[in-house]
């Protein structure tokens, strides 16, 4: 199974990547995790990546693909989370997959209305003691808990203004990838507002139908 997950922040890409990996044995390829691990390793590539991060610049597409390349040929398959984010990145990824003689099985677009995502993300609160994320409605922070005393705060990137800006960027840059992959018969759209298990099963069904 080789799946690319796309969708706006808050649609559950990280959660679904983890569940799909657990159910199928596929490897999760998270570009965010790769960047952090490469920097931590202090390799030559990691130092180069750190320079971009320190300057507040995006890591170039070819470097991201270079980091992912050793994982893209994994025989157990993979779930790609966080890349590509635009058509230029998709074409760079295509070239690398062609070199490796690897094909994508499905591109899954997790769909949810902007207002639902704003509500979901703006309701998050993070414990400054444990780092755990809660939600004021669905998973409220504990009261008078020795296990997690808090305080529980809203992160700067979870304000409504910040969330709406990220959604604008998604619609402008990433959402057009749906057409890019639909033309190749790879796209499946999944309602991400449903329960987590239901979303997972629909993704698995979609891959199974093509396999």
Residues with catalytic function? 13, 85, 124, 155, 166
- Only one residue has tokens 């070239």, namely 95
To which H or E segment does residue 6 belong? strand 2-6
Ordered alpha helix ranges (H), the chain: 13-24, 31-41, 44-54, 61-72, 87-100, 114-122, 160-169, 177-182, 196-210
Rounded Cα distance, 201 and 37, in Å:
31
For residue 6, which of 194, 209, 197, 192 has the smallest C-alpha distance? 192
Between strands 106-111 and 2-6, the pairing is: parallel
């Amino acid at each position: 199974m080789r799946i690319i997950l796309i969708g706006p922040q808050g649609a559950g890409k990280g959660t679904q990547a983890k569940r799909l990996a657990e159910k199928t044995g596929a490897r999760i390829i998270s570009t965010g995790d790769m960047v952090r691990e490469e920097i931590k390793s202090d390799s030559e590539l990691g130092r180069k990546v750190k320079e971009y991060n320190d300057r507040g610049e995006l890591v170039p597409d070819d470097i991201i693909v270079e980091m992912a390349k050793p994982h893209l040929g994994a025989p157990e398959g993979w779930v790609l989370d966080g890349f590509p984010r635009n058509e230029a990145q998709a074409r760079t990824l295509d070239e690398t997959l062609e070199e490796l003689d690897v094909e994508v099985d499905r591109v899954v677009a997790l769909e949810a209305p902007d207002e639902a995502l704003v509500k979901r993300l703006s309701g998050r609160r993070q414990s400054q003691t444990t780092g755990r994320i809660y939600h004021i409605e669905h998973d409220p922070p504990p009261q008078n808990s020795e296990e997690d005393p808090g305080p529980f705060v809203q992160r700067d990137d979870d304000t409504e203004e910040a969330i709406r800006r990220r959604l604008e960027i998604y619609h402008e840059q990433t959402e057009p990838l749906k057409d890019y992959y639909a033309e190749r018969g790879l796209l499946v759209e999944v309602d991400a507002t449903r329960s987590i298990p239901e979303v997972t099963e629909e993704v698995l069904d979609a891959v199974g139908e093509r396999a």
